[in-house]
Amino acid sequence: MSDSNPTVVDNPWQALRQFTAARIALGRSGVSLPTSAQLEFQLAHARARDAVHLALDTQALRQALNNNGDICITLSSAAETRDIYLQRPDLGRRLDAASRSALTEQPRSASRRYDLAIVIADGLSALAIEQNALPFLDALKQRLAPDNWTLAPLAIVRQGRVAIGDEVGELLGAKAVVVLIGERPGLSSPDSMGLYLTWAPRVGLTDESRNCISNVRPAGLSYAEAAYKLHYLLTQARQRQLSGVQLKDETASQHGELQRPERNFLLEER
């Protein structure tokens, strides 16, 4: 039993909780969860719901990006409200008419296309974008700088889903598009950001055309590691003119970061 609360029986695997935020080895009180674990679950659920409904502060994000020297465009999907966005995923994948016109009227060089368009969309967690987009972009720019990538103006999209990047990239005439988007909140990760890369973006592509890097946040995949993986995929995509299921992330094997464990960690030392 727990020393602090004699009514709670500790789980013998409780030590494993140091390795994960997953709800494992919570113990029990009678045949139920301990009160503390039940309250933590309800709090996590409330935070996940708040993250889904929170509106992205596009003005603050645009100002912060401008302060970093980035040129930004603010766009909207065809989903006019958050309620419509949550019930009509198809509308979140397409721009509204005003946003299409704004992109069509963007000045561009007749002799050179943009190499890369970056789209920042709220997705299902504006919190993830507000906390992670700027520090990740700083890490990515350091990776891209030596390769002379020509970047399109950054596009901030309200009520956007992943596929909206295809329309933005197509209208900007970009060779590739990367979408930074708030992921569907988990019960321990309301702040997780996903990255989606598509080569030759155009309306109508499906998920098999994209590469995804997920769980970018301080408690997940670090900004530096995510930028490293995305830079690798971008470089390969440009060399091979493709993305999606035909393009694999081989960064781990290149650096030998995934080592086979020497023993089962569940077995006790002898």
- Exposed e or buried b per residue across 122-160, where buried means at least 16 C-beta atoms within 10 angstroms of its C-beta: bbbbbbbbbbbbbebbebbbebbeeeebeebbbbbbbbb
Specify if 39 maps to a domain.
no
Report the domain count for the chain.
1
Question: Which CATH number fits the domain that encloses residue 193?
Answer: 3.40.50.11240
Show pLDDT as tens, one digit a residue, over the chain (270 residues): 555 667 889 988 888 888 888 888 999 998 899 999 999 999 999 988 988 998 999 999 999 999 999 999 999 999 999 999 999 999 999 999 999 999 998 877 666 789 999 999 999 999 999 999 999 999 999 999 999 899 999 999 999 999 999 999 999 999 999 999 999 988 888 899 999 999 999 999 999 999 999 999 999 999 999 999 999 999 999 999 999 999 998 887 555 554 555 555 555 554
The first and second tokens of residue 138, run together, are 């700083």
Specify if 27 maps to a domain.
no
Binding-site entries for adenosylcob(III)alamin: 162, 183, 212
Specify if 124 maps to a domain.
yes
Binding-site entries: 162, 183, 212
Specify if 32 maps to a domain.
no
Specify if 185 maps to a domain.
yes
Specify if 257 maps to a domain.
no
Range of the domain at 143: 56-240
